[in-house]
Amino acid sequence: MPTVSTREKIIEKADTLFYEGGFEATSFADIAAAVGISRGNFYHHFKAKDEILDAVIARRMDRTRMMLDTWQAEGAQPRDRILSFIHLLITNRTRIMAFGCPVGTLCSELAKLEHGAQHRAAQIMGLFRDWLTGQFRALGMDQQAEARAMHLLTWSQGVAVMSSAFRDETFIEREVAAITQWLDDIIDDQTRHEGRICS
């Protein structure tokens, strides 16, 4: 029977605490208290704080891949799949306003700490970039697919930063509407362009 191991519980709690309080500001004691184990027991599972960070990043990579796979399977059209990504801003708006984007803020923090795991954290962002690039490519935007994926990611990261700075929920809603409008505009352009080539 695969009950949740202590190791997995540690990773799960550390993931949440790193997101909500930051990596540097989260202590072993915080994680141990959240899991309900002693500090000493901690070192049976992880030799150093950096090892937990590695495990948390690996967990986030796995969960991101699973989420992207779900969106891929559930979305009938590339547009629907891209909308799944955009609507993360709505679904997670309360947490985003309080703590920002989990990926963006981790990358920013590790950059300042000059932490070795910085590159691995950026790979989570890379998963989104590559998946979104695939969606725009499926829409026939071969040349501009990656640039548009990067634009959408950039816009989302900006919304996360600004909404947490100003604590404005309506801002997120307005921006999501604007992003959706942008998406439909470039899809319209693409459709017209293909029509012109065919005729």
What does 44 bind: a copy of itself, DNA, none (CB cut-off 5 to 8 Å by kind)? DNA
Of 11-19, 23-31, 55-63, 82-90: span binding DNA (CB under 7 A)? 23-31
64/86 Cα distance (integer angstroms): 14
126/57 Cα distance (integer angstroms): 13
Is the CB of residue 22 less than 8 Å from the CB of residue 115?
Answer: no
Q: Cβ of residue 53: shortest distance to DNA, in angstroms?
A: 10
Task: Give the residue with the Cβ less far from a copy of itself, 126 or 134.
Answer: 126
CA 61 to centroid of chain Cα atoms: 9
Task: Give the residue with the Cβ less far from DNA, 51 or 62.
Answer: 51
What DSSP state is assigned to residue 4? Answer: P
Indicate whether 115 belongs to the interface with DNA (CB under 7 A). no
Q: Cβ of residue 9: shortest distance to DNA, in angstroms?
A: 9
120/117 Cα distance (integer angstroms): 5
Of 27-35, 98-106, 134-142, 144-152: span binding DNA (CB under 7 A)? 27-35
